[in-house]
Amino acid sequence: MFLTLLALSLSPLPQQSTCSSATTANAHMEGKSILETAVAAGSFKTLAAAVGAAGLTETLSGPGPFTVFAPTDDAFAKLPKGTLDSLLKPENKGKLADILTYHVVAGRVTAAEALKLDFAPTVLGQAARLEVTKGEGGKTVLTIDGARVVTTDIVCSNGVIHVIDAVILPRPNIVETAKSTGKFNTLLAAAKAAGLVEALSGKEPLTVFAPTDAAFAKLPAGTVENLLKPENKDQLAAILKLHVVSGRKLAKDVLASKELPTLNGKALKVAMSGDSATVGGAVISATDVLAGNGVIHVIDSVILP
């Protein structure tokens, strides 16, 4: 099962993109800023209006450089009815700015460079997932959080634009993501009792090997109740930190590792047994559940020191 889940992430990346490029237009665009280029193109009116409403005009007209994954007017039109009108209201300026800065990466990232990356570190502080697949005729398809990159490498005076066919939205953090599944109630209660919710909700990227409620239920009777007592807070925190690794580790990164250093200070051994992968002896049952501040891999038992 684990090897099936890894099939896409382990596929070799092509050396050169065959996504549509805009090299013919680049000679005309190099003297224009990102915002000027978008306005001149005529297909980014909604994006330009949103940038203005979010107070980002000066930023995207500045020296940068920036890389913008720019949704077209048609991409914005795919949002649920009323969403855009709501976002453009003054009271939602902060939320709109978060969404737009999630489309922006500091520095110039060409399509060729993007093809080699797993994540694009956005100006918002979150990382958007980059994936490469094969489309019709074997052409390379680059996506960012599922949005297809349809035109690449539009060179501007202060950066580069890659055109995408959908608006991408910031992901909830690890705690919110785990809560939304309904399968990690015990883990979340334990994180709260151990005083770790803030750390798991922060900006520092983390990888969490998350035991399900069923995994916690495998522990001897009374174990969870005892650990949740205030006097056992340190012991509980030590156990939970054994499930957390600093940085974003996708399934392919986990599989390539023999050991993973945890926030507990101890390392978890990674092993393969047939078609299954284990970490610290626990079987990894699902991989690459992405969150705004990291990634979750689901495990079938609680790892103990």
Task: Write out pLDDT tens, residues 104-123.
Answer: 999 999 999 999 998 898 99
What pLDDT is stored for residue 177 in this prediction? 95
Model confidence at 203, pLDDT cuts 50, 70, 90, reads confident
For 174-299, CATH gives: 2.30.180.10
Domain boundaries, the chain: 14-164, 174-299
Give every CB contact of residue 262 below 8 A, 6+ residues apart in sequence: 241, 242, 243, 244, 245, 268
Fold identical between 14-164 and 174-299? yes
Whether the per-residue pLDDT at 8 is higher than 50: the answer is no
Least-confidence region, from 18-27, 169-178, 229-238: 18-27
What pLDDT is stored for residue 30 in this prediction? 57
Percentage with pLDDT > 90 across the chain: 72
Give the domain 14-164 fold. FAS1 domain (2.30.180)
pLDDT in tens, 174-200: 999 999 999 999 999 999 999 999 999
Full 3-state SS string of 151-192? EEEEEECCEEEEEECCCCCCCCCHHHHHHHHCCCHHHHHHHH
Whether the per-residue pLDDT at 137 is higher than 80: the answer is no
What pLDDT is stored for residue 63 in this prediction? 85
What pLDDT is stored for residue 26 in this prediction? 45
> Residue holding tokens 């995408």?
164
What pLDDT is stored for residue 12 in this prediction? 31
What pLDDT is stored for residue 194 in this prediction? 96
| 132-77-144 Cα angle (round to 5) | 15
Q: Which of 259, 277, 269, 260 is nearest to 10 (CA)?
A: 277
Model confidence at 62, pLDDT cuts 50, 70, 90, reads confident
Give every CB contact of residue 295 below 8 A, 6+ residues apart in sequence: 207, 208, 248, 249, 250, 288, 289
Q: Are 146 and 166 in contact (CB under 8 A)?
A: yes
Mean pLDDT for the chain? 87
Whether the per-residue pLDDT at 297 is higher than 90: the answer is yes
Mean pLDDT of the region 250-268: 93
What pLDDT is stored for residue 220 in this prediction? 94
Secondary structure of residue 225 in the 3-state scheme = helix
pLDDT in tens, 156-168: 989 999 999 999 9
Mean pLDDT of the region 198-208: 94
Q: Are 216 and 187 in contact (CB under 8 A)?
A: yes
Amino acid (one-letter) located at 302: V
CA 11/CA 237 separation, integer angstroms: 37
Mean pLDDT of the region 148-173: 94
Q: Are 136 and 112 in contact (CB under 8 A)?
A: no
Whether the per-residue pLDDT at 55 is higher than 60: the answer is yes
Whether the per-residue pLDDT at 89 is higher than 50: the answer is yes
